[in-house]
Amino acid sequence: MNNLSGEIPSDLLASPNLEYVDLSHNRLGGAIPTNLSIGLQSLRLSENLLSGIIPTSIGKLSQLANLELDNNNLYSEIPSQLWNCSNLELLDLSSNALYGELPKDIGNLQKLEVLALQTNNLSGEIPVEMHELESLYRLNLQHNKFYGSILDSINGNVPDSLSLLHNLGELVLSYNNLSGVLPLFSPRVNVVTVGNKNLIIPNGSAESNSPGNGVYDITDSSKRKIQVALVVVSSFVAGFSVSFLMSSLTWKFLTRKKAVDAQEEDHLSDLNNRKRLQMVQRLRMFHERVEKQFKAKEPPDNVCCHGTRKVEIHRQKTY
């Protein structure tokens, strides 16, 4: 690491005897020279300020095994000529502004062990020809715009053929637009898929959330967050269940109480009606009894009110 700045001279990388170039971790800007040594085996220009395109002349470097252009400001499609470098073992184009789709020709890189394309604007489908990369150990495609159904290897996917890569040890597909069902991978493969909201993880692959299980790479912090979330959800469900039970019991109690109150009201109404009827009957009986007593005490027709006979009868007897 130095503090070299400015542009790379156009003929600096053109010497026919030049095999290894490492100008990484500097402040070099401008474009990558197009005049490159045909004998280059390693070209490392990562972590600079390089811009522009990836030169098509790289496709002529038949001996190139290591190409690192990551962490620059490159803005272009990946040139189709690059896939002619059949001796490539490490290709790192990450953290640029590259766009476009991956072609079927990517299957030509059968010696490739590391392919790092993360943090770009690459899109389209992941080509099925990936399964031809028999030496591939690490594949990182995260933070791009790859899309498609995993089950459909024609219309965009994480193809099932990826799971057949016998040397694959790390597969990072996070933060794309992938969908469908994730293929089953060997337990030794560390697969990271977070950020694909439509991606389905098979039950058999999700038995353990630890590195190396072939599904997720979850840190201890993430595990704690998941555990806390589960506790919160469980508490909410338990609280809701208790509230629902109490509400149900309260409703039943109020319903039963209302029915009992209605029965009591009916009973009281009947009782009051019976009491009124009894009172009317008693009053009627009392009235009849009073009438009988009054009639029994009425004086005869020839008796005065004071108990004496009428004067006329008395006179008749006197004279």
What is each CA distance from 222 to 118, 195, 235, 236, in whole angstroms?
22, 14, 20, 21
Q: For domain 5-219, give its CATH number from 3.80.10.10, 1.20.140.10, 3.30.70.270, 3.30.420.40.
A: 3.80.10.10
How far apart CA 51 and CA 18 sit, in angstroms, is: 23
How far apart CA 60 and CA 36 sit, in angstroms, is: 9
pLDDT string in tens for the chain (319-residue length): 678 999 999 999 999 899 999 999 999 999 999 999 999 999 999 999 999 999 999 999 999 999 999 999 999 999 999 999 999 999 999 999 999 999 999 999 999 999 999 999 999 988 888 888 989 999 999 999 998 765 443 334 455 556 667 889 999 999 999 888 888 788 888 989 899 888 887 765 532 333 333 333 334 444 455 555 555 555 555 565 666 666 666 666 666 666 666 666 666 566 666 766 777 677 777 777 777 776 666 555 554 444 444 444 444 444 4
- Residues whose CB falls within 8 Å of the CB of residue 262, separated by 6 or more in sequence, listed in order: none
Residue 92 DSSP SS3: strand
> How many secondary structure helices (H) and strands (E) does the chain include?
2, 17
pTM above 0.75, yes or no: no
- Residues whose CB falls within 8 Å of the CB of residue 25, separated by 6 or more in sequence, listed in order: 1, 2, 46, 47, 48
Could you give the angle at the alpha carbon of 19 between the alpha carbons of 16 and 20, nearest 5°? 140
Contact present, 103 and 128 (Cβ < 8 Å): no
Burial class (CB in 10 A: 0-12, 13-18, 19+), 263: exposed
